[in-house]
Structure 1
Amino acid sequence: MKKTLLTVTLAGAFAATAHAQSSVTLYGLIDTGLTYTNNQGGHSAWQMATSSTQNTVFGLKGSEDLGGGLHANFKLEQGFNLNNGTQAFPGDGFGSQAWVGLQSDPYGSLTFGRQFDVVNDLLGPLSAEANTWGGNMAAHPFENDNLAANSVVINNAVKYTSPTFYGATFEGMYAFSNKAGAFADNRAYGFALSWAQGPVNVAAGYLQFNNAGGGVTGTTPNGAISQGDGSANFVAQRQRIWGAGGNYTFGAATVGLVWSHTQIDNMAGVFSFGTGGYLPLAGTLRLDNYEVNAKYAITPAWSVSGAYTYTDGAYGSGTTVAYPAWHSVMLQTDYSLSKRTDVYLEGVYQHVRGAPAGTVLSEAMINTLSPSSTGTQVAVTMGLRHAF
């Protein structure tokens, strides 16, 4: 009887331990290199760069098995600038991501905290700007559609991600302003859907920000989209983003098409990653981005890639009406030294025409760099990436 009782007790203890299995992982990625730009503020420049393609980060992520197909998950991630050790999001302890949630194998996951938006999650991977073979420098003008990896990170967000059914995944998100008496100020919401089957991947989504960065009134600068840490690409009364795209893989090649439409109403300013601050820009702006991209693996270690984006714009402010257009071209070659370390050479060209003189719209500004004094900017970067 005593042996039987001991056996049952030990079996129960081992079962409880099995259900309570947990893991915590330290991880990170470092992206650094040298960048030459033909024109930043009227001068050519050689600079030590960080996060030209992917965000330089370190973080902790963990999961606990709660039993019955239920898991508790978390992620705490900090972005930083390798060249001087400063925070990528000034003043934030974990500016890149900070969330906790529950994941159910049959029902999906629900996460709470500072997170990437749903369009970035599902449509972004189809664009060159969200991938290692293009990255941040390949972003569409002003990173207007939030597809790049260093895009907007949203505070106070509740996000649902469905399980994958027959290749389809759905995400929905709502982010609170967290200010009493200003529920609708500086909030965000959106939804996105992706489908992958064999060589085909497609996705579409919608995203809306109300008074991002506090809007023109400045009443809630650090609500869902913070102005204080540069998370708001645009400080505006409203920003709406629609997008869709797809790609197809055949053999060693992948080709893709992405379209996005961004409507920004009653703007006050646009963020410049190169200067680290907001540049004045008032009025209303509509942008349609049409991107074609391709990647080809010459060998398992060596790849080449490219992308072209035509951005068609319409701008209005008072009596000023203009129809600016941007041409953006990216070419990259990458060689993997190991599974975790690679080197790359990337060039980006941007040209804008038709923009009103004297505004930031008339100055080419490749993402991560300061604006040119003209409508054309060219940058070449030689980089090293290491993941751990």
Structure 2
Amino acid sequence: MKKSLLALAALTAFAGAASAQSSVTLFGIVDLNVQSVKNGSAGSLKSLSTGGINTNRLGFRGIEDLGGGLRAGFWIEGQINPDTGAGPQDWRRRSTASLIGGFGEIRLGRDYTPTFNNWAAFDPFGTNGVADSNKLRLALGSGAGTVTRADNTIAYFLPAMGGLYGQFQVAAAEGATGNKELSGRVGYAAGPLNVGGAYMVTKKTGTMADDYKTFNMGASFNLGMATLQGAYEKNKYNKEDQKLVMLGALVPLGSGTFKVSYIKSKGDTGSTTLTNQYDFKQFGFGYVYDLSKRTALYGAYARLDNAGTTANGANQAIAGGNAGILRGENSTGYQFGIRHMF
């Protein structure tokens, strides 16, 4: 009897030690807003929309201590649509496995590309809502599926090195057009300063006529009363190119943060007719009021001006409006909502 009790105590202690060395976390974000978008002659559309300051998501992440400073981890995260409750119920936001140690991190799976990570780091709106900047980063007709994320990646992340950070990534095409990429990002963040640069080449595969290339760099500086941000990006494919400049600021105000950004795009389609197709500018501002560390109320407004005419202009639009905006027309939108993280 005594031996049985000792054995049970030993097993209980072992189980406790094992659970202390590993953990699994359920996490998510629910973000809903009332939104109105007017896309030129296509008219206005009012809706209950999602993702005003954060994309809605549900995920699991876990870590296991392997000993000797080595850890293994996983991260699976999918998008949810709380306005309707409909799918997609998949893990396409991120699905990775990692090995982490003093050497840094080796990560495999579907993940964000270094060029997206670098651009998003210097967008006051975090590439979300009516003032989102990511919709303006174009694949230029290449069919590249790597503007934001990439499938089948192998990545290496630098360990903490006194402010220096870096990410290097390769992705296999596995027979798909526009998914074979090689990219990297390096930067330095210490005190009030953050500066980084990234480069990506998506190799010519399938029906692509050439490689698709992206380079961007950005910086931010916290002055105390405000954080100033700026970024530049150039996208290149065959005879087409696009140059983007983004300026913005984050200003602490009361129990929240005021955000503002201005983005201008200039490009060349390689065509003698569609000369203004990549020429547009966007201005946006908003305010996030923090009710707690996890819950916030917010409002935002944005206006996107397309250059040119119906014959040769740009026709970018704020997401969530009616389809069919004509070239050279403008797009405006506003939203008011609530975000909760868990």
> Which secondary structure state, in structure 1, belongs to the residue aligned with residue 211 of structure 2?
strand
In structure 1, the gaps of 5 or more residues are 1-5, 217-235, 266-283
SS of the aligned residue for 2:203 comes to: strand
Contact 2:168 2:184 in 1 (8 A): yes
**Percent identity among equivalent residues?**
23
CA deviations over 1:29-57 (Å, ceiling 9, x no partner): 11111111122662111111112332110
Which structure ranks higher in relative contact order (CA pairs < 8 Å, sequence separation ≥ 6)?
2
> Which residue of 1 is the match for residue 261 of structure 2?
307
User: Residue 294 of structure 1 corresponds to which residue in structure 2?
Assistant: 249
Q: What is aligned with 1:335?
A: 289
Cα deviation, residue 138, structure 1: 2.2
Amino acid at match of 2:109: G
Secondary structure of 1:362's counterpart equals coil
Q: How does 1:237-386 map to 2 (within 5 A)?
A: 237-265=210-238, 284-299=239-254, 301-317=255-271, 319-320=272-273, 322-323=275-276, 324-354=278-308, 357-358=310-311, 362-367=314-319, 369=321, 370=323, 372-373=325-326, 374-386=328-340
Candidates 117, 123, 138, aligned match of 1:144: 138
Partner AA of 1:144 in structure 2: L
Q: How far did residue 177 of structure 1 move? A: 1.1
Cα gap change, 1:387 to 1:377, in 2 (>3 Å): same
Q: Partner residue of 1:209?
A: 202
Any conservation in 2 of the 1:171–1:193 contact (CA below 8 Å)? yes
2:228 is aligned with what amino acid? V
- List alignment gaps of at least 5 residues for structure 2: 1-5, 140-145
Distance 1:380 1:20 in 2: 47
Question: Alpha-carbon deviations, 1:309-337, whole Å to 9, x = none?
Answer: 111111124x5351452111010011111
Which residue of 1 is the match for residue 31 of structure 2?
31
Change (3 A) 1:210 1:151: closer
Q: For 2:320 and 2:46, how far apart are their aligned partners in 1? A: 14
Q: Which residue does the alignment assign to 1:50? A: 50
Q: Does the 8 Å contact 2:246/2:263 carry over to 1? A: yes
Q: In structure 1, how many angstroms separate the alpha carbons of the residues matched to 2:27 and 2:279?
A: 40
> Partner residue of 1:3?
none
* Structure 2 match to 1:272: none
Q: Which amino acid letter does the alignment assign opposite residue 189 of structure 1?
A: L
> What is the aligned residue count?
327
Instruction: Tell me if the contact between 2:280 and 2:314 (Cα under 8 Å) persists in the aligned partners.
Output: no
Moved beyond 3 Å, runs of 4+:
13-20, 134-137, 140-143, 367-371
| TM-score normalised over the length of structure 1 | 0.76
Among 183, 186, 202, which residue is 1:190 paired with?
183
**Counterpart in 1 of 2:94?**
97
Q: Which letter does structure 1 place at the counterpart of 2:35?
A: T
Shift of 1:81: 2.0
1:120, CA displacement in angstroms?
2.2
Over 3 Å counting, the alpha-carbon distance change for 1:302 and 1:185 in structure 2 is closer
Q: Aligned partner of 1:365: which letter?
A: A
